[in-house]
Amino acid sequence: MALAGCPDSILHHPYRIDSVDQTSAHTRRDLVEPGFQEQSSRLSLNHQGDDDVDLEALVNDMNSSFESLYTPYNVHSESTPLIHNGQLPASGTNSLQPVSPKQKVQRSQPVRIMAVRRLQEEEQFRTSSLPAIPNPFPELCSPTSSPVLAPGSLPQNQPANKQDIKVFTEDGTCKVVEILADMTARDLCQLLVYKSHCVDDNSWTLVEHHPVLGLERCLEDHELVVQVESTMGSESKFLFRKNYAKYEFFKNPVNFFPEQMVAWCQQSNGCIPQSQLLQNFLNSNSCPEIQGFLHVKEQGRKSWKKQYACLRRSGLYCSTKGSSKEPRHLQLLADLEDSNVFSLVAGKKLHNAPTDYGFCIKPNRMRSETKELRFLCADDEQSRMCWMTAFRLLKYGMLLYQNYRIPQQRKAALPHFTTPIVSL
């Protein structure tokens, strides 16, 4: 069919459109020329009714197909460099161009992981991997709390406090021993016996010695050595020596408690047996009392005054009126709870004591001051031992008897060999 007004080039080239479809390497501007658009327009206007090929619709389909072909290419060409270690690119580089909603593609970018965050994640993983420890005391937990203990809530093992202690032997040599804070005087004596290769006959004691004051005493077996040392001055020291009479009063109480000095013995005319005598001291419900005359040193002076004194569980009292024991005539000299009794060494030389049988009551909180010391003197050794032994029994009670029984029980538990061991 002949087309009026069409150039001969169109009529003689019926496959022009097919050649355009095969040209995929050109851009959209090169494919659709102005002359081509004008010719196609005239063809569509003049022969819409009798031509079965719609050129305008065909060109629109071609444009849409080219857009779909070049969209991935344009997106890749317009992408920007990845952020490296959280830093933005240099100012001279190309920035992101605004693209159509179809071209916006979500991409994962490298993220800088901080060291603190990584440690927290590792700690969380390590904590969660630990097994849950059941609480052995769920009844102590509140109703809202869990009966399972978290691994981080467990108490840490604290290292035990250690301290060096200097101990002097009878020959004047000094030994430095490292002990724990909870070591008792008995434990330290056992350790010194082992280190010194001595015979363990349960008579070794640790003596607290104050050379400036002329005082010394044997530590009780249950006392903590570190605690006692904290109340000692720089010139004071520990002595390691034997004392066979430390618990002798449990074996022969009559020798330590004369009848005239025990108040209830005088009331019962001396009919109390020995076992009952000690039980009255060990029983906390009883009220034993030691009485007699003592030489008391006046505070702040070098003079001594003889006064009637009585020793009770509440403390040591002296009478201000003869031998009267009425409450209005009794004056408190020392408290037993916060004090210890010491033997007075060289009392005549240091303190102008009237006799050689002196003793002293020293508060625990004091180091070397003399204003709170109570210096006393008895007329003989038996009277002095009665006052000092009664002081220990009234202060410690059954604890002193347990200290006496422990070595005997340990000795009884050891096997007895009837024949000597022969080395092969």
> Which H helix or E strand runs over 42?
helix 34-46
Side chain identity, residue 150: A
Instruction: List phi, psi (to 5°) of 80.
Output: -105, 165
What's residue 139's pLDDT? Answer: 58
Average pLDDT of the chain to the nearest whole number: 74
pLDDT over 60 (residue 30): no
Give tens-digit pLDDT for 228-249: 999 898 899 999 999 999 999 9
- The pLDDT value given to residue 136: 65
Q: Which pLDDT score is estimated for 46?
A: 47
381-396 vs 274-282: helix crossing angle, rounded to 10:
50
| Confidence check: pLDDT of 299 > 50 | yes
pLDDT digits (tens, 9 = 90+) for 192-212: 999 988 888 889 999 999 999
Contact indicator for 294, 313 with CB cutoff of 8 Å: no
Fold of 253-412: PH-domain like (2.30.29)
Q: Could you read off the pLDDT of 131-170 as tens digits, one per residue? A: 556 666 665 655 554 444 454 544 555 556 889 999 999 8
Which residue type is seen at 382?
Answer: Q
| Residue 382 buriedness (CB in 10 A; 0-12 / 13-18 / 19+) | middle
6 pLDDT band, cuts 50/70/90, is: very low
Cβ-based burial of 383 (10 A; exposed 0-12, middle 13-18, buried ≥19): buried
Q: What is the mean pLDDT of residues 297-323?
A: 92
Report the amino acid identity of residue 161.
Answer: N
Q: Is the pLDDT of residue 2 over 50?
A: no
Q: How far apart are CA 117 and CA 74, in angstroms?
A: 38
Would the pLDDT of 380 be above 50?
yes
Q: Does the pLDDT of residue 417 top 50, yes or no?
A: no
pLDDT at 247: 93
**86 pLDDT higher than 70:** no
pLDDT at 93 over 70: no
% of the chain at pLDDT higher than 90: 39
Query: Which of 344-348, 364-368, 399-403 comes out lowest in average pLDDT?
Result: 364-368
Give the confidence band of 66 by pLDDT, cuts at 50, 70, 90.
low
- Judged by DSSP in three states, 278 sits in helix
Residues 6+ apart with CB under 8 A from 83: 89, 109, 110
Confidence grade of residue 34 (pLDDT, cut at 50, 70, 90): very low
- Which of residues 414 and 408 earns the better pLDDT score? 408
Cα gap 161→152, rounded to integer Å = 24
Summarised one tens digit per residue, pLDDT across range 334-347 is: 999 889 999 999 89
Phi–psi pair at 205, nearest 5 degrees: -135, 160
Instruction: Name the residue among 31, 32, 56 with its Cα closest to residue 46.
Output: 56
Give the pLDDT score at 288: 86
For the chain, the structural domain boundaries read 160-246, 253-412
Which option is the CATH number for 160-246: 3.30.1280.10, 3.10.20.90, 3.30.720.210, 3.40.190.10?
3.10.20.90
- The β-bridge relationship of strands 237-242 and 162-168 is parallel
What does the pLDDT average to over 285-300?
A: 90
**What's the average model confidence in pLDDT over 381-408?**
94
